Amino acid sequence: MWPTPGAGPVLLGEAVPLAPTPRLCAPSGNNQVMLLGDSGVGKTCFLIQFKDGAFLSGTFIATVGIDFRNKLVTVDGMRVKLQIWDTAGQERFRSVTHAYYRDAQALLLLYDITNKASFDNIRAWLTEIHEYAQRDVVIMLLGNKADMSSERVIRSEDGETLAREYGVPFLETSAKTGMNVELAFLAIAKELKYRAGQSADEPSFQIRDYVESQKKRSSCCSFV
């Protein structure tokens, strides 16, 4: 039996620094975020890096079906609970994961910068997303394993171009070093908070602009 979207155990109590008396975004609902992409691109490691700040190296154990973790992030003094679904990239689990697309508010679509097939398959993933997910789902494209520069086969510009074609934000990330992992989730949380209508202070938040500005900041000042 696979877990039910929105009905799983609430794993609160993580060490998340909170601002004084933060409010909870979408208190009665979950902000469901799904990780998608070919098998081996690093979805599970990406989630574990975000949740626990750790990297699982060694033997690759493919995800079976689907699993999730919760994490609270603080956005502009407000707590946003993200329920993050880690899906199996293997083809044989596709019918299982399709059932979860419609409940997702945001999708992080990963490819591996050292694996051309995983990049070429992004268009097929986007076709599936358009078929099964909500029409207004937030999508972000991530080129993972950016730490493996000597084995890179997909240029950063190619990721940028593809993301621009589909009108989605783009980041290169590393689940190993943590590069841009937090930024990806923070941008999603900001967008979901904005959509929940609780950002009067940010009346025109644009996730792509936010991601681009943060990328410039980190490249200029060597921090994220």
Ligand X SMILES: Nc1nc2c(ncn2[C@@H]2O[C@H](COP(=O)(O)OP(=O)(O)OP(=O)(O)O)[C@@H](O)[C@H]2O)c(=O)[nH]1
Name the site residues for ligand X (rule: CB under 6 A).
Answer: 37, 39-45, 56-57, 60, 62-63, 88-90, 144-145, 147-148, 174-176
- How far apart are CB 53 and ligand X at their closest, in Å? 14
Q: Among residues 32 and 199, whose Cβ is nearest to ligand X? A: 32
Q: Among residues 30 and 44, whose Cβ is nearest to ligand X? A: 44
- How far apart are CB 35 and ligand X at their closest, in Å? 8
Q: Among residues 34 and 192, whose Cβ is nearest to ligand X? A: 34
Would you state the structure tokens that stand for residue 107, as one six-digit string?
């999708």
Residue given tokens 């003094």 in the structure block? 77
DSSP letters along 95-118, please?
A: HHHHHHHTT-SEEEEEEETT-HHH
Asked if 192 contacts 25 with a C-beta cutoff of 8 angstroms, the reply is: yes
Q: Among residues 125 and 210, whose Cβ is nearest to ligand X? A: 125
Alpha-carbon torsion, ordered 140, 37, 124, 108, to 10 deg: -20
In one letter, which amino acid is 73? Answer: V
- How far apart are CB 59 and ligand X at their closest, in Å? 7
Spatial separation of the C-alpha atoms in residues 5 and 87, rounded to whole Å = 12
Spatial separation of the C-alpha atoms in residues 158 and 176, rounded to whole Å = 22
- How far apart are CB 19 and ligand X at their closest, in Å? 30
Q: Among residues 26 and 56, whose Cβ is nearest to ligand X? A: 56
Spatial separation of the C-alpha atoms in residues 45 and 54, rounded to whole Å = 8
- How far apart are CB 62 and ligand X at their closest, in Å? 3
Q: Among residues 78 and 89, whose Cβ is nearest to ligand X? A: 89
E strands within the chain?
23-25, 31-36, 66-75, 78-87, 106-112, 138-144, 170-172
Q: Among residues 8 and 40, whose Cβ is nearest to ligand X? A: 40
- How far apart are CB 97 and ligand X at their closest, in Å? 10
- How far apart are CB 148 and ligand X at their closest, in Å? 5
Q: Is 47 exposed, middle or buried (0-12, 13-18, 19+ CB in 10 A)?
A: buried
